Structure 1
């Protein structure tokens, strides 16, 4: 899939191709730039575990219905034929396969005859930014299917917990594995929020000391990121709320854990709202900084104009062309030997007095 980085944003835009209008529902069309498909299998019980990478879907049959929990992880959605074979093996509805491949689905939970279908989005941190990856889950009797758009390590913490003997996940059914996957997806947003928090802290210092046009562009980029994240997290809240009320697929014990994930989603939304307010405050600080900077410039210009006003008055008085021969009162200083030094001294004294007055008032200080 095509990543188009934006200089002012951490969140990268990933474009997904939609089916053409009028396409038959359930049509599965992979994106031309989709990642190659890789299938990983984990079959486990309380005391035993088998983990291997599958070369074909047919290899899964020998593990199906023979283990307490069977987890099939599909990474990359380029091989449409492979997805159809998985759909046939686990009786997946064509609409499920279409939503899995499309990559632009809203987080949701839907019940089908073959199992519970869940769509969520995880935050994936890259070297040059952050992307949101769709992860689809299918919870059935004794199995869980997970579909990722790329071969990321997003679900590796879950695999490590499965490998650890004696953990709760090894003692539980497939519904607890589904919860664990959802919890990992939800918690993927917290490092991203910490990264945004650090960036906001840096911007708060910079926007006061060095306000500029590039800074306001970056702040607007962050605000757009927060809106995008919130649009993807808010439906996840509704999805978990639906799963909490799902009595058929989840045990009472697992539902307690789902409530914890729901609380995490609410916390993420609160943090995003807080970051959004901080972004708005940064814009106000930026505008205030510009206004203060303009006031400083106007203050300097006003002081300069104030100093030169009396100097201009003195120069104007002595620049009047009165005939000294007509009256002894017509500027006798003009014929004085020290008249010119006197006028310059008067101007300098006036300027010094004004500067002294400004300093006493504190107008010359940068504080």
Structure 2
């Protein structure tokens, strides 16, 4: 019966190419010396049925291949490796920090990988096989899929650093509240990416330190290179996070200074008008015997007195360097 949950299926020919395996051929025996790669959508009922009933894998491996959520890890089970990795979501209209996962079982004769959402790194493997430049053995597949994930990640890391650069440039000439939203967005991306990249670094370290027959010294060397690349990405994210935090602190300080300056100005205005308010309130009481009530010059005398009072206040403020 055809398995409609199969996305890609190949029988690796050992020369960089491979023959396509369809959903009808999943249970057919492979030619001698061939390695199969089966890539499934694990949410599909046919996939779940085949992995549970026909894959002949340990239950712990089956559970890992079909699990909804998985953090990056590498676990050796007998002569095979159970691997969970993450890559950036490069699909159109998607958030880069919304990372997609791939789960892989790999041993000397077969590779079984599962995913839920579209992953460009798997498509890169298919394109390489079509061009006869794909993996020739399980070790090559492991290094190539890991490297493809890193390549797809580079653009997102660079865009994050460019965003921080742009924020720092804007901060020189502006202290707009809009910058807060930009800084928060960058920090959210960095936190989300680092949440998975840190354990993925540990998974890759465990991967190239594993001693297993089909993983050659050359494969391990290539995995070390991939690990070094990932470590550099994590360091770049740490730098972007720290720079964004400094930018946010600087913006907060500037906005606080602006607020303090405005409050200080309002305080000075209130201090100037406080005695004037007292005089006008005193002269506005409705009691008998108010001096100057019948004097035609009383208004101008009072206005001149208050003007002199304001002048004296401003002179005192200036003398004390209050403005």
- State the TM-score, normalizing by the size of structure 1: 0.68
CA distance in 1, matches of 2:71, 2:107: 21
Number of residue pairs matched?
314
Q: Verify the 8 A CA contact 1:241 1:262 in the aligned structure 2.
A: yes
Within the alignment, does 1:274 sit opposite 2:239 as a pair? yes
Match of 1:264 in 2: 229
Cα 1:136/1:69, change in 2 over 3 Å: same
Within the alignment, does 1:184 sit opposite 2:152 as a pair? no
| Superposed displacement of residue 285, structure 1 | 3.4
Of stretches 276-285 and 253-262 in structure 1, the one that deviates more from structure 2 is 276-285
- For each residue in 1:109-158, what CA deviation from the matched residue of structure 2 results, as whole angstroms up to 9, or x when unmatched? 22224622211122213414242222112222243322212234342223
Cα 1:116/1:84, change in 2 over 3 Å: farther
Q: Verify the 8 A CA contact 2:13 2:19 in the aligned structure 1.
A: no
| Superposed displacement of residue 338, structure 1 | 4.7
Match of 1:209 in 2: 175
- For each residue in 1:240-278, what CA deviation from the matched residue of structure 2 results, as whole angstroms up to 9, or x when unmatched? 112222232321111111111111221232233233334
Match of 1:11 in 2: none
Q: Verify the 8 A CA contact 2:12 2:35 in the aligned structure 1.
A: yes
Q: Verify the 8 A CA contact 2:17 2:131 in the aligned structure 1.
A: no
Within the alignment, does 1:40 sit opposite 2:8 as a pair? yes
Q: Verify the 8 A CA contact 1:54 1:60 in the aligned structure 2.
A: no
Task: In structure 2, list runs of 5 or more residues that go unmatched.
Answer: none
Within the alignment, does 1:99 sit opposite 2:70 as a pair? no
Within the alignment, does 1:234 sit opposite 2:198 as a pair? yes
Over aligned residues, Cα RMSD in angstroms?
4.1
CA distance in 2, matches of 1:273, 1:338: 75
Cα 1:361/1:188, change in 2 over 3 Å: farther
CA distance in 2, matches of 1:83, 1:45: 27
Q: Which structure 2 residues correspond to residues 248-263 of structure 1 after superposition, within 5 A?
A: 248=212, 249-263=214-228
CA distance in 2, matches of 1:50, 1:118: 23
Cα 1:238/1:316, change in 2 over 3 Å: closer
CA distance in 1, matches of 2:156, 2:199: 18
| Superposed displacement of residue 228, structure 1 | 4.1
